[in-house]
A = this chain, B = another copy of it.
Amino acid sequence: MTHRPPLGMEPAPTIARVAAEAGVSRATVSRAFGASHHLNPGTVATVRAVAARLGYVPNQTARALSTGRTGNVALVVPDITNPFFAALMRGAQARAREAGFAMFLGDSDELPALEDELLAKLAAQVEGFVLVSPRITQERIRHHAARRPLVLVNSEVAGMARLLVDTGPSYARAVEHLADLGHRRVAYVSGPTLSWSNGQRFAAVLAAAHKRGLHLTLFPAARPSFEAGRACAEQLIDQGVTAALAFDDSVAQGIVAGLAARAVTVPGDVSVVGCDGVIAATTFPALTSIDARCTAAGERAVDLLLDLLRDPASADQRITHPTDLVVRASTARACPLPARVAATLPRNPGPAASTLLESQS
């Protein structure tokens, strides 16, 4: 075939060249660079010297093809620009680098088909995957995991290595926090309906609201974004809600902006709680938010993958990653509703009554 080298470029010296020059076999040269265990130290030195003179460097690609070890891992996320994922990536890539691995990045743009494609294409080039908040089915996840070690983040698939950012307890605490401040009508503005994270968060909010007898309204938001948050501000007001728990900080910020546009202030008129903790401290007002310690989560996920690479039997690990509620400036004591608004609302259940859940389209 001889279809290379790209015109005028000298081809890099190969192992054969070094072997010839040093008067040994290719196998010996190979061993001089890899497992030099059973090699005569003198031979190693000779070979290394010749290699250095020729400027020989082992070809990573060929090595990978032969050994299956590429020194690469891949991180696949639904949206790089989401601060939560960005922070997670940062931790992941730092840890991977420390361990000597280079990292591929795949952005699936929230598209299951794209996610699937990325996983398939990358499989041959990586030793393992960290798949964050997958949008593909469990079946597909299993399919990919059968080919390469794979660590899930925020997805609950029995029998697989998974890191679950445990925001449930913190959301419960957030509800307590709001109840303590006197809020009786609260809302949960959801994220991707099918995602594990959203399920966990909503369940926690629902349970806690029930426990405290709060009136809870559910607002769906297909894609967690500033826009989605802003879009539901009006309904929030119409529903006479005095506090909103958002799926994440972006949504929360959208809510704040949407309310502001209608002259409703935070936290004066309405309290807002976010989640992630990446941008929460940098917004105005600073958001009361659940700190997911994203960077640490990224590191931990890669640690899990490294374990899996060493010992494939260590799959089926379920690691929960604790989170904290951080109270900042977007939550405050409930503001009594103007009488004219209150009159039009469903009756507020007493403290011991059960939660009334309403869904808004």
Contacts and interface: CB of A to CB of B under 8 A. Distances in A.
What range describes how many residues of A lie at the interface?
35 or more
Contact of A107 (B94, B285, B286): B94
Interface string A261-289: 00000000000000000110111111000
Interface stretch (A1-9, A129-137, A188-196, A239-247): A1-9
B124 A59 contact: yes
A297 to B, nearest CB: 14
A340 to B, nearest CB: 28
A311 to B, nearest CB: 10
Interface in A303-341: 312
Interface in A130-174: 143, 146-149
B281 A284 contact: no
A253 B279 CA distance: 11
Contact of A57 (B9, B124, B286): B124
A25 interface: no
Interface stretch (A41-49, A67-75, A203-211, A343-351): A67-75
A80 B85 CA distance: 10
A220 interface: no
Interface of A: 1, 3-12, 55, 57, 59-62, 64-68, 70, 72, 75, 79-81, 83, 86-87, 89-90, 93-94, 97, 102-107, 109, 118, 120-125, 143, 146-149, 226, 250, 253-254, 256-257, 260, 278-279, 281-286, 312
Given A57-B121, A250-B282, 8 more contacts: A57-B124, A61-B64, A61-B65, A61-B70, A83-B86, A86-B86, A93-B106, A257-B282
